[in-house]
């Protein structure tokens, strides 16, 4: 399926090109063919869209989680409450999609989770042999992608930002 704005992607290739124009280390974006960049944006949107967002979807028939109603948060940098209109896609969501798309391009086969294969694993004296010499696990969605949207995510069991815990 081709990229369709606000149906399977929050951003267009032109939007992403403008974002990556001034971002360091974006060569994998600029060197990728349009079809690959389109796939990366659609896949990134799917990954980002599956978060527990504040507010609620404007319509039960909308394809993506945003836009939302009753979506507001406290912006610590500005020290004020920010409210989004029922037609708005926050720039924070778009930034997360750009960064997730770049992360996908930089880590081939990440979604298929085939980025790491072991030749052998021993338990006796604990030995691991890695065929691609990569012993680190790469997160599908790293913290630098989640960070911009963290204020827009619902927290706690009640969805109001209160996390309950009990000390024994």
Which among 94, 93, 112 is positioned nearest to 104, based on CA atoms?
A: 112
Does residue 60 belong to any structural domain of this protein? yes
Catalogue the E-assigned strands of 34-126.
56-57, 68-69, 72-75, 80-83, 118-122
Domain assignment present for residue 167? The answer is: no
What is the reported pLDDT for 155? 80
Please report whether residue 1 resides in a domain. no
Give the pLDDT of residue 141. 84
Tens digit of each residue's pLDDT (9 = 90 or more) over 14-45: 999 999 999 999 999 999 999 999 999 999 99
Question: Is residue 5 situated within a structural domain?
Answer: no
Supply the range of the domain harboring residue 113: 13-152
Asked whether the predicted pLDDT for residue 161 surpasses 90, the reply is: no
- Per-residue pLDDT, 76: 87
Condensed to tens digits (0 to 9), the pLDDT of residues 84-138 reads 999 999 999 999 999 999 999 998 777 655 445 555 566 677 766 665 555 456 7
Task: Give the pLDDT confidence of 39-85 residue by residue, as tens digits.
Answer: 999 999 999 999 999 999 999 999 999 999 999 999 988 999 999 99
Six token digits for residue 89? 């896609």
Count of structural domains, the chain: 1
Domain assignment present for residue 161? The answer is no
**Does 42 fall in a domain?**
yes
């Amino acid at each position: 399926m081709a990229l369709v704005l606000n149906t399977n992607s929050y951003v267009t290739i032109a939007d992403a090109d403008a974002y990556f124009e001034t971002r360091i280390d974006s060569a994998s974006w600029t060197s990728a063919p349009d079809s690959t960049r389109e796939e990366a944006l659609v896949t990134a949107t799917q990954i980002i869209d599956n978060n527990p967002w504040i507010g609620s979807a404007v319509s039960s028939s909308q394809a993506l989680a945003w836009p939302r109603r009753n979506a507001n948060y406290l912006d610590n940098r500005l020290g004020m409450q920010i409210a989004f209109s029922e037609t708005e896609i926050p720039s924070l969501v778009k930034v997360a999609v750009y960064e997730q798309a770049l992360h996908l391009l930089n880590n081939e086969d990440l979604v298929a989770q085939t980025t790491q294969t072991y030749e052998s694993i021993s338990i006796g004296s604990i030995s691991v042999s890695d065929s691609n010499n990569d012993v680190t696990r790469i997160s599908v969605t790293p913290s630098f992608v989640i960070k911009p949207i963290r204020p827009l995510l619902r927290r706690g069991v009640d969805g109001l930002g209160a996390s309950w815990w009990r000390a024994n």
